[in-house]
Amino acid sequence: MNAPARYELFVLDEGERPVEVIEDTKIPNAATIKVMKQDHTLGNLIRAQLLSMPQVLFAGYKVPHPLQPHFLIKIQTDGTATPTEILEQACNKLIQMMVSLEAKFKREFSFKDVDGAVAEDPYGTVTAGGATWTDGRDYLDF
Amino acid sequence: MQQGPVHLVGSILERKPRATPLAPSPKPASGKTGFPAVQHRSQSAFARSREQQKRTPSARSQQVPAVQNVHASALEAGNGNTDDWREQIDEENRRRVEAMSEEEREEERREILQRFGPSVSETLRKVRELREKKRLGSERRETEGTSVTNRGAPDGTFGQNVKLTSALTSSSGKPSRPSSPPSAMSRGGTRPSSRADRSVRFADITSKDIHVYESAPPSPRRRPLALPPPSDADGPTISLGEWAPTSPSVRRREQGPFLPDAQSPPQVEEGTPEDIRRRFFPTALANDPSLAWMEPSSDSPATPSTLRFDLTGAPIPPDVSAVLPTHLGLHHHAEGVHAGYSLDELFLLSRSTVPAQRAAIIGVLAHIARRLKNGKTVQLSGQDSDLRKRIMAAGIEALAERGSVGARAVEVLWECIVNWHGDVTSIQSIELETLDGASEEDPISTLPLEYILSQASSALAIRALPGESLTQWLAILHRLGQHSNAIANSIVSTSGLVASVVQAFLLTPIPPSCDSPLPDPFALELLVTLALASRVNASALLGPADALLRYVTTLPTVSSYPLHLAVALLTGTLRLYTAFASYGLYAHVATTAAEHFSQIGRYIASAECTSKQLRETWYELLAAWMVCARDPHRTTPSHDILWSQVVGWDWGEEVLETRRWLTAEDHTTWAAIWRAEAAWLEGVRVNEPRSGQEARSTALGALQAGFQSGVEKDVVERSHQMLGQLLDSISGDSIRSPRHKDLITLNATAGHASALAAVMRLWLSCLPPQLSEPPESPPFILPFSKLSSLCSQVTLHPIWASVFSSDVPYTLVFCRPLALLLSSYLELSRQIPGITQSVWIAQAFSITLRLLPGDEEDAQRNLGYALDLITADFVNTRSWDVPAIIWEKGGMQIVKPFLDSRLQPKEEISVGPIWISPRSIAVASTQRLPPAQSLIPDARHNYPLPLAKDWLSAPIDSLLRSGDSDVFKSLPLSWDASESEVVRLSLLLAKIHREILCTHGMHALIPSREETLFTCMKVFMLEHGQQQNDSTEEVFRDAIVGRLMDELVAPFAAGTTTMSLQLPSPEIPAQNLESVAKRFLGPSTPFYQFYTDFVGLYDAISFAHPLFARLLLPPLSMRYSLDYRKYLWADYAHVLKTIRIPVDAVLTGSIGEYLWPVEGDAEVLGSYLRALIRGLLDGVLRFIAVHHIACNIWSDLNESVEDDKGKKLLQTLVDQAGFDAIREVVCYRQVQAGMVLVPPTCFAQVGDWKSMRLEFVKRTGGNSIYDRLKALLEN
């Protein structure tokens, strides 16, 4: 009964900023970035992308509380780029990756219509048009 | 027998006689006169015929096997006197023949010829000749026997009757061994002796033939049958008869000529299954397994493995038990032929419904228990605790019985409970719960206590049992009360039990009449034990205590009891009052019976009193009451005893009076006097005007001379000297498994230690109050420097390391005076001019680690002094670079509440100190130490003391547990420090602790590597679950905290000593992070869980903090479980990139523990390989990964490597990894002993192994890999 409305998990509040960057005053080239209304899905993705980039010395995120829909990502770079820039780069790379993934997926998916001969069973395993079952033999013949 | 047709079941056999039956053995006729033998009429005709009937089967059983002469044997069986019979018939025939006419004779002859054939006359003649011949031969043989006496028995079957003893030697075939008739009868043990044919054994015995040995030897060791037959010198004996070897086997042996020939199967006893088979089912198989059940179970010599006991509880060796005679009473109730009773039989019989039998058997069990305890029954070693439980159970079952069964049951219980550890009766100030090992094995805890106590209650109320049993009950109750506080509480709360004890043992009639029992001082001992166990008990015992005044009102000299008993009773009563006073109870009796107590005081101060113990107890009591009087609000009820009264009674003066009777030998009495005087002076200081200046100077006037050059000086010197010697003779081993001698040594040590502690207390009490500086001149002279070195010896003695793991848990009791000595010395040393602040702090830190439960007050006081001394000035003069900011909020006072609360006992388990104080009498809940095993300093326990070495990190613990920590509720109002400040100060304190102990050479007391690392881990974990977003609020980012942590861990880095490169790694240390963490985390949270949170925190917020990263590594060593490596290397592989630690910064004592033994788990190896391929690794992680991969490829590094696995790893590596990784793995070389080769030297080694590796590459990898690696592996 006290559960917050589901939409609060992904709809930004009135006037709420989706991303907040807190520069770290103690550690050089480090920042904590607070991303609102997001969870592990995005956090983990960004963290993994950041860690694969050579300029990043440290990247980590945490979801401070499971009922509060935001995460904090901490980035430290080697100084060639600020954490904000690196985060932008990482996000761009991720978007590119998503775009190409989508394109690839759509292409493969369109093959389905073109290549009508290839029938797929509901579980996605491709069988050769059911050929094995139509040439008059069934498994009992083995 | 096989060829004989069988007509009837049973004994009637019809057999064809042989054509020429053998003549029976002619016997020398008993009646040579030719008349029939005289028949004695001593038996009635009925008895004779019964006898005849009984004898017949035995005769038959003898004859049946002898098939051939059935005719003769039948005749023989029918009438024993064959010769007479034959002559008689012969005579008759002759007369008849003479009376016949010639025709008649012809007729007869014709008839015979017709019936038997023409050769009959020849046959008859031959028979006659044969008979004559046989008779002559037989007579000759009979007379040859030497050991054979002709008894002329009426049955006349055999003339051989041998005296009992010689028959045994001749028939059992074991001439040297004493043997018994039953075993000889039941040859081969096929039948129980008791079932052997009794008629054979007893039928023909006359009264003159039976000997009764006046006392049958009970023990098998005494070889009862080696006794010669009684001679005249033995006095009158009654003969029970001579033993006739009439058993079939014996007969057959002596029958010689009548035995069947050797080819025939061995004879079997009649009635056995084998006999039936041979007779009735000759075609059946001999050993039909489906009939195996018919074989008697004791066919094999009665399972020699079962141990059998005689009536004294001694085990009987199996061979002896087979031959013991029956008159020893060892066969009567047992199964089988063996003498004695097996344990199972004993336990069965212990539930017998025949009281006498039950009592006897329970008595045997008691004996067995005693022998078990003494370790005499070696056959049962190992099962004694199990057996003890069973015996105890048998005893408990019989407790409710009346008469001797009940008495024996009490005895059994006494053996198993009290006598099992007979030497602990005097141990009073500790619970003995773990005396028998861990609590689940402990037999006493498993007793049905409620039942036993109610039985005890009724037994003592009714007093139907004999006095010994009641005393045993008392001892049982005492031992149970010693066992644990819980049991002691239930003894007191059992309704009527204490009242019955008091009634039965203490409130005996006065004056004692000759038949009334005397009071038993041991009952007072029981009451003291119960009172010491808990405050609740003590309050409950106040009621009966009033009645004990009867022992106080009359002096021992005029008492109606014997002097020693009166003294013991008085001592016991005073001890009980002391026990009450330690809870602040019952002090009003001092007022109530003031007159009598002053009498006692005079008596004790006089030469009349010879009992040392009474004296000491009296002064203990005075000391306790004076402590009670010091603060009237601490007693229960308050104002129970007042200082003005104490002054009125003038105890302070009285105490000193006894001194003239004492010598330097009585150090314990001296100690008691000093303690009482100290208590007086301490009270005076609080309660008298001008802080008791006058009383102090009076006392000093009396004391000074003695300590200058009197007996007191000698006592101190002697105790000091003895203590030093005794400490030298105690080693760690003698504590861990102490023998009796060691316990005596420890006891003496404790005595001298408390004497020295007492004198220091007296010295301190002579000082004026509120001294901030050492006094200008000491009250009296003590050997200060000697005491100082002695105390440092005590502090660093191995006794402390082993006392908690001792086999005998109560050795801890003897350490209590040592701890007391140390804490008194610490007090003293504050007042000695020569001791600097730093030395004193070192003493305080080291001695605090030695304190035991009960010493919390001292520990808190010393901690307070020590924290007061640690100020900015103190630190700055030692050039430890500490920022000034740290002192701003009040310095160490910030952490004091946390440490104080660490030392604060919990309400319900507050152990009272040895020297009671006004505070302790108000709060102590028990006066007994908990069992030593529950106090191990390095384990988690419920008591504030003893402390672990890292106890100064308590403030950090409180911060981590801020939710359920009590400290925050009781902080002073002025306290307003932040988290970082608390952490800073506690880290600083830890640092100072280490530095000071290091400076004074107490390295053993410094927190270990694991403890320090875990403290730092806790600092990081303060951020776990915190909400803040900013690193500025994180405690570990605080510059001072970070620096202090770095300084703390600095000595543990691998780079600080070359020892860390030594291979093989040293022995596994006693502590690891898991055991250290258990102390803080408790039993339900494993360290692994803490570690996962730690890694998660690192992943989320660390920004690759270097120390944070270094703390991740210790659990990755090969000494820890595989799970840690899997967790970090496989599950958190992405954080590896951020851990960039050089090899020499690793926090370990040995790099080798990360390298050897080689990792074998495929998943972890895969993670190593993946990380190498991705090129993420740096520093020590890279080193570790390369090492384990290389060791799983190259057989020159690791003999047990499998080619297959190595090939796969190599293939993957070469295919996917970068050049550097390949080069490092290929060129990696490591040693198993000596110094670890660290990067880069480990990649630059040369040797034959390169060509071996190249060969391996060629063999397994094919040409492509070979070509790629060739350049690397060729020098």
What token pair was written down for B92?
């008759």
B1218 touches chain A (CB under 8 A): no
Per the domain annotation, does A54 fall within a domain?
yes
pLDDT at residue A43 in the model: 92
Tell me the mean pLDDT in the region B936-949: 86
Q: Do B1032 and A25 touch (CB under 8 A)?
A: yes
CA angle B428, B431, B433 (to 5 degrees): 140
pLDDT tens for A121-133 read: 555 554 444 444 4
Element (H, E) at A32: strand A30-36
Minimal-distance CA residue of chain B relative to A60: B1100
Minimal-distance CA residue of chain B relative to A57: B1138
pLDDT at residue A10 in the model: 86
Query: B528 with B545: CB under 8 angstroms?
Result: no
Element (H, E) at A36: strand A30-36
Q: Please say whether the dihedral angle defined by the alpha carbons of residues A34, A38, A42 and A44, taken in this order, is positive or negative.
A: positive
pLDDT tens for B1143-1195 read: 889 988 888 889 888 888 889 999 999 999 888 788 899 999 999 998 888 88
| Containing structural domain, residue A64 | 6-110
B1205 touches chain A (CB under 8 A): no
Higher pLDDT, B742 or A137: B742
Lowest pLDDT segment from A101-105, B156-160, B764-768, B913-917? B156-160
Q: Is 50 exceeded by the pLDDT of residue B129?
A: yes
Amino acid making up residue B106:
E
Mutation site for A-interface testing, chosen from B1041, B1094, B1103 by largest number of A Cβ within 10 Å: B1103
pLDDT at residue B464 in the model: 86
pLDDT at residue B231 in the model: 60
What token pair was written down for B938?
């390095």
Per the domain annotation, does A118 fall within a domain?
no
CA angle A48, A50, A52 (to 5 degrees): 75
Higher pLDDT, B547 or A102: A102
Give the helix ranges, DSSP H, for B903-1024.
918-923, 954-960, 979-999, 1009-1021
Query: Could you say which of A34, A60, A65 has the minimum Cβ distance to residue B1099?
Result: A60
Q: What's the mean pLDDT when you consider all of chain B?
A: 80
pLDDT at residue B556 in the model: 86
Query: Which residues between 887 and 946 in chain B have a beta carbon less than 8 angstroms from any beta carbon of chain A?
Result: none
CATH number of the domain residue A26 falls in: 3.30.1360.10
Query: B970 with B1009: CB under 8 angstroms?
Result: no
Which residues from B are below 8 Å from A51, CB to CB?
1134, 1137
A-B contacts at Cβ under 8 angstroms: 50
Q: Give the pLDDT band (50/70/90) at residue B40.
A: low
Give the helix ranges, DSSP H, for chain A.
40-51, 83-114, 131-134
B836 touches chain A (CB under 8 A): no
Q: How far is B944 from B856, CA to CA, in rounded Å?
A: 7
How far away is chain B from the Cα of A62, in angstroms, using its nearest Cα? 5
Give, rounded to a whole angstrom, the gap between the first and last alpha carbons of chain A: 61
Q: Do B1100 and A74 touch (CB under 8 A)?
A: yes
Q: Say what angle helices B612-630 and B563-581 make with each other, to 10 degrees.
A: 20
Query: Could you say which of A27, A47, A51 has the minimum Cβ distance to residue B1031?
Result: A27
For residue B389, give Cα distances in angstroms to B367, B435, B480: 15, 15, 15
Tell me the mean pLDDT in the region B1119-1142: 91
Q: Is 70 exceeded by the pLDDT of residue B601?
A: yes
Per the domain annotation, does A95 fall within a domain?
yes
Look at residues B1210, B1174, B1172 and name the one whose alpha carbon lies nearest to residue B1191.
Answer: B1210
Minimal-distance CA residue of chain B relative to A30: B1103
Question: Among residues of chain B, what percentage have pLDDT more than 90?
Answer: 26
Query: B1189 with B1169: CB under 8 angstroms?
Result: yes
pTM of the model: 0.74
B1099 touches chain A (CB under 8 A): yes
A53 touches chain B (CB under 8 A): no
Q: How far is B222 from B1150, CA to CA, in rounded Å?
A: 66
Q: Is 70 exceeded by the pLDDT of residue A17?
A: yes
pLDDT tens for B204-242 read: 555 566 555 555 444 444 444 444 555 665 555 555 555
How far away is chain B from the Cα of A4, in angstroms, using its nearest Cα? 20
Question: Among residues of chain B, what percentage have pLDDT more than 70?
Answer: 81
Which residues from B are below 8 Å from A64, CB to CB?
1027, 1029
Amino acid making up residue B26:
P
Higher pLDDT, B881 or B535: B535
Per the domain annotation, does A128 fall within a domain?
no
pLDDT at residue B172 in the model: 40
Which residues from A are below 8 Å from B1107, CB to CB?
none
Amino acid making up residue B930:
P
pLDDT tens for A41-61 read: 999 999 999 998 989 989 999
Q: Do A22 and B1138 touch (CB under 8 A)?
A: no
pLDDT tens for B452-509 read: 999 999 999 988 888 889 999 999 999 999 988 999 999 999 988 999 999 888 888 8
Q: How far is B181 from B326, CA to CA, in rounded Å?
A: 9
Q: How far is B459 from B454, CA to CA, in rounded Å?
A: 8
B1138 touches chain A (CB under 8 A): yes
Q: Give the pLDDT band (50/70/90) at residue B1210.
A: confident
pLDDT at residue B931 in the model: 85
Q: How far is B938 from B1010, CA to CA, in rounded Å?
A: 12
A55 touches chain B (CB under 8 A): no
Lowest pLDDT segment from B189-198, B444-453, B800-809? B189-198
Q: Do B1138 and A58 touch (CB under 8 A)?
A: yes
- If one counts every other C-beta atom within 10 angstroms of the C-beta of residue B147, the result is 11
A70 touches chain B (CB under 8 A): no
How far away is chain B from the Cα of A100, in angstroms, using its nearest Cα? 24
Q: Give the pLDDT band (50/70/90) at residue B823.
A: very high
Per the domain annotation, does A115 fall within a domain?
no
Residue B893, judged by CB atoms within 10 A of its CB (0-12, 13-18, 19+), counts as middle
Q: Do A26 and B1099 touch (CB under 8 A)?
A: no
B1043 touches chain A (CB under 8 A): no
pLDDT tens for B660-673 read: 888 888 889 999 99
Tell me the mean pLDDT in the region B261-281: 70
Give ipTM to 2 decimals: 0.77
Q: Do A51 and B1137 touch (CB under 8 A)?
A: yes
Minimal-distance CA residue of chain A relative to B1026: A64
- What are the residues whose beta carbons fall under 8 Å from the beta carbon of B1187, sequence distance 6 or more? B1154, B1155, B1228, B1230
pLDDT at residue B1153 in the model: 87
Minimal-distance CA residue of chain A relative to B1032: A26
- What are the residues whose beta carbons fall under 8 Å from the beta carbon of B525, sequence distance 6 or more? B478, B572
pLDDT at residue B623 in the model: 93
Query: Could you say which of A48, A51, A62 has the minimum Cβ distance to residue B1101?
Result: A62
A54 touches chain B (CB under 8 A): no
- If one counts every other C-beta atom within 10 angstroms of the C-beta of residue B590, the result is 24
pLDDT tens for B134-183 read: 777 665 655 544 334 444 444 444 434 434 333 334 444 444 444 334 43
pLDDT at residue A93 in the model: 95
Q: Do B1103 and A51 touch (CB under 8 A)?
A: no
Tell me the mean pLDDT in the region B104-108: 85
Lowest pLDDT segment from B334-338, B966-970, B1043-1047? B334-338
Higher pLDDT, B661 or B744: B744
Q: Give the pLDDT band (50/70/90) at residue B614.
A: very high
Q: Please say whether the dihedral angle defined by the alpha carbons of residues B110, B114, B115 and B120, taken in this order, is positive or negative.
A: positive
pLDDT tens for B946-1002 read: 899 889 999 999 999 888 878 888 888 888 888 889 999 999 999 999 999 999 888
Q: Do A57 and B1138 touch (CB under 8 A)?
A: yes
Query: Could you say which of A22, A51, A57 has the minimum Cβ distance to residue B1029?
Result: A22
Query: Could you say which of A26, A34, A62 has the minimum Cβ distance to residue B1100?
Result: A62
Is residue A14 left, alpha or beta, with left meaning phi > 0 and alpha meaning psi from -120 to 50?
A: beta
pLDDT at residue B207 in the model: 58
Question: Strands B160-161, B210-211: parallel, antiparallel or unpaired by DSSP?
Answer: unpaired
Which residues from A are below 8 Å from B1030, CB to CB?
22, 24, 32
What token pair was written down for B604?
């004790």
pLDDT at residue B580 in the model: 94
Lowest pLDDT segment from A92-96, A130-134, B744-748? A130-134
How far away is chain A from the Cα of B1243, in angstroms, using its nearest Cα? 26
Higher pLDDT, B171 or B358: B358
Q: How far is B912 from B535, CA to CA, in rounded Å?
A: 10
Q: Give the pLDDT band (50/70/90) at residue B876.
A: confident
Q: What percent of the residues of chain B are helix, what percent strand, and what percent coil, each to the nearest 5? A: 60, 0, 35
pLDDT at residue B142 in the model: 52
Q: How far is B669 from B759, CA to CA, in rounded Å?
A: 12
Lowest pLDDT segment from A63-77, B246-260, B371-385? B246-260
For residue B1162, give Cα distances in angstroms to B1123, B1159, B1198, B1208: 13, 8, 16, 12
pLDDT tens for B553-594 read: 888 888 888 889 999 999 999 999 999 999 999 999 999 889
Query: Could you say which of A22, A51, A62 has the minimum Cβ distance to residue B1030?
Result: A22
pLDDT at residue B1208 in the model: 87
Q: Do A32 and B1138 touch (CB under 8 A)?
A: no
Q: Give the pLDDT band (50/70/90) at residue B23.
A: very low
Per the domain annotation, does A117 fall within a domain?
no
Q: How far is B99 from B725, CA to CA, in rounded Å?
A: 121
Q: How many domains does chain A have?
A: 1
Higher pLDDT, B193 or B167: B193
Q: Do B1134 and A30 touch (CB under 8 A)?
A: no
Q: What's the mean pLDDT when you consider all of chain A?
A: 81
Minimal-distance CA residue of chain A relative to B1027: A64
- What are the residues whose beta carbons fall under 8 Å from the beta carbon of B986, sequence distance 6 or more? B895, B898, B952, B953, B954, B955, B956
